[in-house]
Amino acid sequence: MVESVPETIKFPSEEEKILHFWNEKDCFQECLKQSKNRPRYTFYDGPPFATGLPHYGHILAGTIKDIVTRFYHQSGFYVDRRFGWDCHGLPVEYEIDKTLGIKGPEDVAKMGIAEYNKQCRSIVMRYSNEWEVSPVYRMGRWIDFKNDYKTLYPWFMETVWWVFKQLYDKGLVYRGVKVMPFSTACNTPLSNFEAHQNYKDVQDPSVIVNFPLVENEDVALIAWTTTPWTLPSNLALCVNPELLYVKVKDNTTNKTYIMMEARLGALFKSESEYTILDKFPGKTLKGKKYKPLFQYFAKCSEKGAFQVLTDNYVKEEEGTGVVHQAPYFGADDYRVCTEYKIIQKDQTPICPVDASGCFTSEVTDFVGQYVKDADKNIIKWLKENSRLVNSSSYKHNYPFCWRSDTPLIYKAVPSWFVRVEHMVENLLDNNGKCYWVPEFVGEKRFGNWLRDARDWAISRNRYWGTPIPIWVSEDFEEVVCIGSMAELEELTGIKVTDLHRENIDNLTIPSRRGKGVLRRIEEVFDCWFESGSMPYAQVHYPFENRKEFEDSFPADFIAEGIDQTRGWFYTLLVLSTALFGKPPFKNVIVNGLVLASDGQKMSKRKKNYPDPGLIVQNYGADALRLYLINSPVVRAENLRFKEEGVRDVLKDVFLPWYNAYRFLVQNVQRLQKEENTHFLYNENTAKKSDNIMDKWIQSFTQSLIQFFKAEMNAYRLYTVVPRLVKFVDMLTNWYVRTNRRRLKGESGTEDCLWALETLFSVLFSMCRLMAPFTPFITEMMYQNLRHLIDPASVEEKDNSSIHYLMLPQVRENLIDKRIEGAVSRMQSVIELGRVIRDRKTLPVKYPLKEVVVIHQDPEALKDIESLQKYILEELNVRQLTLSTDKDKYGIRLRAEPDHMVLGKRLKGAFKAVTASIKELTSEQLEAFQKKGSIVVDGHELHEEDLRLMYTFDQSSGSAQYEAHSDAQVNPVSCNLFALANCRC
């Protein structure tokens, strides 16, 4: 039996009751069980790092995923929803290092890798347990935690080995020394895409340093750098061979320098400060030797160091046109010095900086100093040794470690790489097969990133991760790559059940070439390699579930934030293209970032955002879900989070919706109590009402269902939610408002039943459409409304939860676009009338004599006439007059110039043309509307140049009226006008 609905409601409390209901009935698992034999819809859950509790970014992405997967379940699919965890890598290790005060590899060595990894495992398990009972559960997301995947599971790690072995066997893996982004806080290199995730504007020291020529120490090349700490490792200078250089005398100091002519302004403020002594192309400087800054690597002169090199990478946009070369701290430096054989690819790197970013013993003057801190001491040394020409500061965009938020350095380290550059065209082709929402993210942001893809550095000099399964001889000439635990046991004779470093680092493989034993390399995989392998590893492919995977790959759907275009989306695509030659997913929704209300990044330290838990506690999860989804963030734009926005969802959407539901239940109960008439709804036998408002709301509902399904299948949540919110307004502020008397039985029992059946039908459809978006409030309403549904009309065997029900089918026989258009015009008239009343401060309780409606389309006026009783009642007027005659009532056109467009084009003539535009008559502007152009003061103007609007001329004999229009003029549309005789 339907229960009475209280007048007031606390949505968070009701949600807690629903959570208890779902938990008690095990609704999610029951939902999966019921749909087991349906067509499969594949969804990949991008694994978050298990190093903290969910923030708004997690909540947003999780809500999008929950909405889409619920929708496809309600559309007749089986949707497996497994939660995933990224358990390895820098995020976890960095948290442990902070907690235990670990500064570098020597601290880990003292502790032992086994103990270190034990600590890492403990933090992962703690956070994963907290997530399950945290906002993920409280936000109403249905996701399988019991059948989750964690990248630390041995079976997951084994598939990662298999993935790597496939790449290795295809010749896509190589070991090389490259200058790479390096995190000194995490003691490891990063990949290029990781380095691009966290850029900041910073002030760095900027110095110009002199390098006297050996042939004439009175003449010095001068080079500019923003990384003084790289100067101790200088091995060469580089100039552009084609651009012009000058020998120039500093008139203030009488010193002579060589620099690029185009860059003289970098040192001198005016031409009077210098005298050009000679001018020549950069190539004439090639091979000239100079005096080294420091003596740390003086012996390198034997291999050609400390001379001028030439390369076209030297540009004329910044610096002095002379670039100092520290080949192990700059990618171009490394390339150029290698080409000139100043360094060899296989030689020991001249890299006097350790993993923590501190100078090693070779740099005797600054040994032990952190490189960034050493800048000021190096500058002091340069000044004291007369090598400093100029010193200042320089603001630029610089990469920071995405995990530790500390500045990266660029450093040459031996690493393992996956070849990517050769398959850029294949990556772009596969990306083109994916459906991106919004489209521009795939085409522009992601597409541009793919075009510049570089070979992927997949090795990390860390401990907590999947070990790279490569065993090598001491000289690296014999290499064995292992792809499974069985293969490891076969080659080592030892059976292992866990693949972490502490369990396999000591295992050796006998050499087949008489080189003793092969030992595993120390590196572990980049954690992004693991997350990129998740489509295969989460099902332990190919060791298990082979057919299941092959039948459902690529995934139907994934969703993450826009930052993942340089993260998970990228690694998924690289691996699937390399392994299978196909994209890893078919459809992807990309969301923007949730920022603090001031537009800044949300920061725990600054406390510039409300705690998500408190928001849910105060307003409920449904309100937060709908606020996030009905915002620019689902169009991959940023959202400035405002608590009042969540509050407004309650006020503007939920409370009106709840009141409509309450009003229905009240009147069903009244009907039963006062007239002993039982209400029971059967969607299959419901008859069509003759009432125009019943027809309208039914048509509007069916049109919404049609639109909803089409747009949801196109993954355009940003078009769907506004329509759903608008529907609540249509239902509550128009249908219920204009039919209150019928619903209360004042027009007879039969008419009351028509209205109640209509309202129930619409509310029931609304609940099913809104269920993926607001799972709590729809469940709450349904648990009461289901007692009014004829069980024979429900197709589902188990209808005990709204989330077991399928979406309503479109009943096209109920769609009547003519009625929808008529009611829309009626609504416009009523809204215009309300504006006029507000303007004149005339409350609705005071009746008005007349409302005149003017429209150029007679058919539109017929529609309005058919609904005049609602207009008269809503506006409290005695008479409705309809007309197509604008002139009779003083409606005139006037024009305003588009200042930005015309001002730019007309320049000096703009003022005179503006004055003439304002003098144009209504007749001239009507002709302009038809023709699309008009000549004013000799200038031809078009639609984009003018803004037309209607005005009301009270001197035309209708002074007793107040007027308002429904919109600014559109040349191709008919506008609606309402005039109210404000005399009572």
Question: Tell me: the pLDDT tens digits for 702-736?
Answer: 999 999 999 999 999 999 999 999 999 999 999 99
Band of pLDDT at residue 514, cut at 50, 70 and 90: confident
What domains, with CATH codes, occur in the chain? 199-399 (3.90.740.10), 469-520 (no CATH), 644-815 (1.10.730.10), 845-981 (no CATH)
Q: Please state the φ and ψ torsions of residue 789, each to the nearest 5 degrees.
A: -100, 130
Catalytic residue among 66, 80, 86, 863: 86
Which of residues 896 and 234 earns the better pLDDT score? Answer: 234
Going by C-alpha positions, the residue among 596, 663, 657 that lies closest to residue 622 is 657
Concatenated DSSP letters for 439-463? HHIIIIIIHHHHHT---EE-EES-S
Say what the pLDDT of residue 695 is. 94
* DSSP code of residue 616: H
Residue 964: what pLDDT? 58
User: Does residue 655 register a pLDDT over 50?
Assistant: yes
| pLDDT tens by residue, 262-321 | 999 999 999 999 999 999 999 999 999 999 999 999 888 888 899 999 999 999 888 999
Least confident of 163-167, 191-195, 669-673: 191-195
Given a cut of 60, whether residue 758 has pLDDT beyond it is yes
Catalytic pick from 279, 604, 606, 918?
A: 604
- Exposed, middle or buried, 237 (CB in 10 Å: 0-12/13-18/19+)? buried
Q: Is the pLDDT of residue 162 over 50?
A: yes
Q: Tally Cβ neighbours within 10 Å of residue 599.
A: 8
Catalytic residue among 142, 416, 464, 528: 528
Q: What is the mean pLDDT of the chain?
A: 88
**Band (977; pLDDT cuts 50, 70, 90):** low
85 is catalytic: no
Question: Mind listing the pLDDT tens digit for each residue in 405-416?
Answer: 888 988 888 889
pLDDT band at 346 (very low <50, low <70, confident <90, very high): low
DSSP 3-state assignment of 152?
A: coil
pLDDT band at residue 981 under the 50/70/90 scheme: low
Task: Exactly one of 568, 657, 734, 754 is catalytic; name it.
Answer: 568
Q: What is the pLDDT of residue 132?
A: 67
More confident residue, 52 or 885: 885
Most confident residue range from 69-73, 356-360, 897-901: 69-73
- Indicate if 604 belongs to the active site: yes
Over the stretch 12-39, which tens digit does the pLDDT of each residue have?
Answer: 999 999 999 999 999 999 999 999 999 9
Query: pLDDT value at position 954?
Result: 56
Higher pLDDT, 660 or 897: 660
Q: Which segment of 207-221, 437-451, 785-799, 817-831 scores lowest on mean pLDDT?
A: 785-799
Share of the chain above pLDDT 90, in %: 57
Q: What is the pLDDT of residue 969?
A: 35
- At 968 the pLDDT is 37
86-100 pLDDT, tens digit each: 888 887 888 888 888
For 820-847, what is the mean pLDDT?
A: 84
Annotated catalytic residue within 12, 47, 91, 205: 47
Least confident of 592-596, 628-632, 958-962: 958-962
Q: Quick check: 363 pLDDT over 70?
A: yes
**Active-site residue, from 395, 601, 651, 904:** 601
| 8 A C-beta contact, residue 575 and residue 584 | yes
How many angstroms from the chain centroid is the CA of residue 462? 29
With a pLDDT cut of 70, the percent of the chain lying above it is 95
pLDDT > 60? residue 604: yes
What pLDDT is attached to residue 973? Answer: 33
Confidence of residue 962 (pLDDT cuts 50, 70, 90): low
Cα–Cα distance, 853 to 961 (Å, whole number): 12
Query: CA 47, 52, 54, 56 torsion: positive or negative?
Result: negative
What's the pLDDT score for residue 68?
97
The pLDDT assigned to 976 comes to 52
Q: Rounded CA gap, 578 and 23, in Å?
A: 43
Can you tell me the distance from the alpha carbon of 679 to that of 564, in angstroms, rounded to the nearest whole number? Answer: 52
To the query of whether residue 584 is one of the catalytic residues in this protein, the response is: no
455 annotated active-site: no
Q: Which tens digits make up the pLDDT trace of 737-751?
A: 989 999 998 888 888
332 catalytically annotated: no
Find the catalytic residue in 119, 538, 564, 698. Answer: 564
d(CA 35, CA 187): 48
Segment 360-379 shows an average pLDDT of 93
> What is the C-alpha separation between 372 and 440, in angstroms, rounded?
39
In contact, 417 and 470? CB cutoff 8 Å? no
- CA–CA distance, 228 with 379 (Å, rounded to integer): 7
Quick check: 945 and 897 in contact, CB under 8 A? yes
User: What is the per-residue pLDDT for 970?
Assistant: 35
What does residue 646 show for φ and ψ, rounded to 5 degrees?
-65, -45
pLDDT, average across residues 611-618: 91
Q: Is position 197 annotated as part of the catalytic site?
A: no
Each residue's pLDDT tens digit, 105-151 = 888 889 999 999 999 998 888 877 777 667 788 999 999 888 889 89
> Does the annotation mark 840 as catalytic?
no
Q: What confidence category does residue 375 fall into, taking pLDDT thresholds of 50, 70 and 90?
A: very high
What's the mean pLDDT in 379-383?
A: 95
Band of pLDDT at residue 900, cut at 50, 70 and 90: confident
Query: Does the pTM of the predicted model rise above 0.85?
Result: no
Whole-number pLDDT of residue 971: 32
Task: Assess whether pLDDT exceeds 50 at residue 864.
Answer: yes
- Lowest-pLDDT range, 664-678, 902-916, 963-977? 963-977
C-alpha–C-alpha distance, residues 768 and 781, integer Å: 11
